[in-house]
Amino acid sequence: MSMFLPGEVTAELPPELAGRLDIRTAEVTGSTNSDIRALAEAGAPEGTVMIAGEQTAGRGRFGRSFYSPRDGGLYMSVLLRPELPVTDSLAMTVCAASATAEAIEELTGKKAGIKWVNDIYIDGRKAVGILTEASVETDGHINYAVTGTGINVTDMGFPEELREKAGTIGAGAELRPKLAAAVLGRFFAYYGKLPDKGYLSGYRRRSILTGKTIEYERGGGVFTAKAVGIDDDANLIVITPRGEELRLGSGEVNIIMGKGEQ
């Protein structure tokens, strides 16, 4: 299936948003996040969007690769120029997660669960990864940010090491332009009113960690705790075995499977 055109996405957007976004598409690229970073350095405005049909060097958090086969998913990155300190950059990832989960549920009817902070699960398997990267000024404020979203739309044959944990939204590749528009529409609706934190209620409701025993990394060590919620800054609230409450703002978190866990 050939790559869709920018106009196919624009046609699905609210007119007021369509006029603000510069949507670009490519059959193949290395990484849509890298493409947007290069455009940002060249002075591109907020709202520049790159969507690819395949990534040859897609990446996730902690430098991991993100499997991005041809016509298998929606690989999309957005340029943002928020007036925010870097300490608030988590909000953009949470906005993207909420927007993406809502779009998937509306278009597929499937329930989307969010694994803090940036993964979306469908039918118990990871179907979406989100990566926000920022360029920071010397005063600690964000010069620009790039929020990339990779959605496994259809199973194009996962490599062996991913078959047990990777999932898809179970749709056909033809859904991609409509899905891109649905994600962008919801994302910019939340982003335009970022201080209101309207994205948090849906994010909390879809959390698959709340109530679970989790394992997390901190200071070079690995610890266990019970996840009890998400605070107003999108930090994960956990209770340690000693009863201490901690708020995690970043890091790797996994559910510990055991009695009573799912």
Render pLDDT for 55-87 as a digit per residue (tens, 0 to 9): 887 665 545 667 667 778 999 999 999 988 888
Map tokens 């890298």 to a residue: 34
Sign for the CA dihedral angle at 74, 164, 203, 109 comes to positive
- Class (C level, CATH) for 213-255: mainly beta
Structure confidence at residue 220 (pLDDT): 83
What does CATH list as the number for 6-205?
Answer: 3.30.930.10
* N-terminal to C-terminal alpha carbon distance within the chain: 37
Say how far apart CA 60 and CA 121 lie, in whole Å. 15
Residue 35 has which token pair?
């493409």
Say how far apart CA 240 and CA 121 lie, in whole Å. 25
Structure confidence at residue 108 (pLDDT): 97
Strands 253-255 and 245-248: unpaired
HEC per residue, the chain: CCCCCHHHHHCCCCHHHHCCCEEEEECCECCHHHHHHHHHHCCCCCCEEEEECCECCCECHHHCECCCCCCCEEEEEEEECCCCEHHHCHHHHHHHHHHHHHHHHHHHCCCEEEECCCEEEECCEEEEEEEEEEEECCCCEEEEEEEEEEEECCCCCCCHHHCCCECCCCCCHHHHHHHHHHHHHHHHHHHCCHHHCCHHHHHHHCECCCCCEEEEEECCEEEEEEEEEECCCCCEEEECCCCCEEEECCCCEEECCCCCCC
Whether residue 9 has a cis bond before it, omega within 30° of 0? no
Map tokens 């049909």 to a residue: 53
Contact (Cβ atoms closer than 8 angstroms) between residue 77 and residue 146: yes
Structure confidence at residue 84 (pLDDT): 87
Nearest Cα residue to 94 out of 165, 191, 177, 4: 191
Structure confidence at residue 68 (pLDDT): 66
Strands 119-122 and 221-230: unpaired
For residue range 87-103, what is the model confidence (pLDDT) as tens digits?
Answer: 888 999 999 999 999 99
Question: In the chain, where are the structural domains located?
Answer: 6-205, 213-255
Map tokens 């044959």 to a residue: 157
Contact (Cβ atoms closer than 8 angstroms) between residue 154 and residue 88: no
Say if residue 262's pLDDT is above 50. Answer: no
Say if residue 35's pLDDT is above 80. Answer: yes
The pTM of the whole model exceeds 0.85: yes
For residue range 157-202, what is the model confidence (pLDDT) as tens digits?
Answer: 776 777 677 889 999 989 999 999 999 999 999 999 998 999 999 9
Structure confidence at residue 59 (pLDDT): 64
